[in-house]
Amino acid sequence: MTYLKLGLAAAVALAALHSNAFAGGFSRGDANIDILFEDGKAAIDAGVTYVAPKRQFDTIDGVQSSDDPISKSYFVPNLAIKASISDSFSCALTYTQPFGASSVYGPQANAAEAAQIGNYAIEKGFTTNEYGGTCAVRFDAGPGRIHVIGGVFLQDFRYKAETFYGTLRLADDSAFGYRFGLAYDIPEYAMRAQLMYRSEVEHKVSGDFTPDALIPVVGTTPLPSDGVGTLPQSIKLSLQSGIAPDWLVYGSVEWTDWSILDALNYDIAVLGPQHDVYNWRDGWTVQAGIGHKFNDLLSGTVNLTWDRGVGTGADIMTDTWTLGVGGALKAGPGAFQLGVGLSYLTAGEQSTANGATYDATAGGDWALGVSTSYRIKF
């Protein structure tokens, strides 16, 4: 059985692009370490995913909500450059944004939060950037090959919260993590089993708080601020195999340790300790898909992903179901890849009894994502 490389690349790459961009918690992008399995001396893969979620409250404190969606659209860039040092040793440099969030709150949500705590959030968000280096050593084993994979990465963190009281900015320019794993593949059958671990990353952040409504109390001078928070470790098992000429099935199961992020804790001079409460549980993401090569130029894939919501009532982070489709077209020296994903966010609720600052419910909502990338091999 033979499965052409173009079809294999399309299925695996598009699955990776969609899986994290729609995942729960603050997950966004995965480093593209699958490029280590590409044949040839070198390969470059560059792409971007755009996600437009439409999460909004149905009711706030028991009253029908007229607020706009709280979720904001975002982009996830992805870059990977691979070089083979020898027939059995290769390395890749990668860049992506692994975690992020961006929310804006309407007047009803503002009024409900102000009634509970006096202050209210207007807009909150954070971004991270991951710059990594990962290598793989290959050994022949039976009909296939064993790959020992390991690497390190630098991750930064930028947080901004605009509230009635004022604006908080926190940052960490460099925190380090690592990843390692094992894989076994049989290229003749496009078969691969891979287990990867990504470490947690603790961010010690510092910045300042610029007063607004609190100016009469604390003055106009920005107040020094600092804090600490941990973004989670994860373990992912991926499987794929050719099942017939020009056909491939694939799937993955990923556990993410979101329960470690019970809150973002920070301290503002004069104002004292503050907390953004999450009280999340661990996340599980399961994906299954099939890929097919239609001809020497075109191949495609379709996949279904379920992500277990991590929310426990302090916010509305519910289960997500995503249908993804995509294709790869040989164009010029490489392959152009395009994918589209449609996600359904299940209904849920938050309550003050579970750590929320006000009661609210959400019905079923939708999110749309588009991924595109271009890959060249030498």
- Which residues in 31-54 are b (16+ Cβ under 10 Å) and which e? bbbbbbbbeeeebbbbbebebebe
84, 8, 97: which is closest to 43 by C-alpha?
Answer: 84
Could you read off the pLDDT tens digit of each residue along the chain, which spans 378 residues? 333 444 445 445 555 555 566 667 899 999 999 999 988 899 999 999 999 999 999 999 999 999 999 999 999 999 999 999 999 999 999 999 999 999 999 999 999 999 999 999 999 999 999 999 999 999 999 999 999 999 999 999 999 999 999 999 999 999 999 999 999 999 989 999 999 999 999 999 999 999 999 999 999 999 999 999 999 999 999 999 999 999 999 999 999 999 998 888 999 999 999 988 899 999 999 999 999 999 988 999 999 999 999 999 999 999 999 999 989 998 888 889 999 999 999 999 999 999 999 999 999 999 999 999 999 988
List, for residues 285-336, the tens digit of each pLDDT value: 999 999 999 998 899 999 999 999 999 999 999 999 999 998 999 888 888 9
> What is the rounded end-to-end Cα distance, in angstroms, of the chain?
25
**Location of structure tokens 């990594």:** 132
What pTM was estimated for this model as a whole? Answer: 0.94
Give the DSSP per-residue string, 301-364. EEEEEEE----SSSS----EEEEEEEEEEEETTEEEEEEEEEEEEPPEEE-GGGT-SS-EEE--
Backbone angles phi, psi at 371, to 5 degrees: -120, 140
CA distance 312 to 318: 9
Maximum Cα–Cα distance for the chain, whole Å?
75
Which residues does 80 contact at the CB level (< 8 Å), separation at least 6? 31, 32, 33, 35, 43, 44, 45, 46, 92, 93, 94, 95
Close Cβ partners of 217 (under 8 Å, ≥ 6 residues apart) = 211
Residue with tokens 């604006």: 167
CB neighbours of 193 closer than 8 A, spacing ≥ 6? 183, 184, 185, 237, 238, 239
Q: How many domains does the chain have?
A: 1
For residue 52, which amino acid is it?
A
Residue 24 DSSP code: S
- Asked if 149 contacts 134 with a C-beta cutoff of 8 angstroms, the reply is yes
CATH of the domain at 159: 2.40.160.60
Supply angle C-alpha 348, 276, 364, rounded to 5. Answer: 15
Let me know: does 182 contact 192? Beta carbons within 8 Å. no
Instruction: Please name which of 255, 262, 14, 29 lies closest in space to residue 130, comparing C-alpha atoms.
Output: 29
CA-to-CA separations, 199 to 98, 254, 256, in angstroms, rounded = 12, 13, 10
Q: How far apart are CA 80 and CA 373, in angstroms?
A: 11
Range of the domain at 364: 5-377
Token digits of residue 274: 């503050």
Phi/psi for 260 (5° steps) reads -70, -20
Instruction: Give 93-142 pLDDT, tens digit per residue.
Output: 999 999 999 999 999 999 999 999 999 999 999 999 999 999 999 999 99
Mean residue pLDDT across the chain: 92
Place of tokens 């959400």: 362
Write out the DSSP string of 223-251.
EEEEEEEEEPPEEEEEEEEEEETTEEEEE
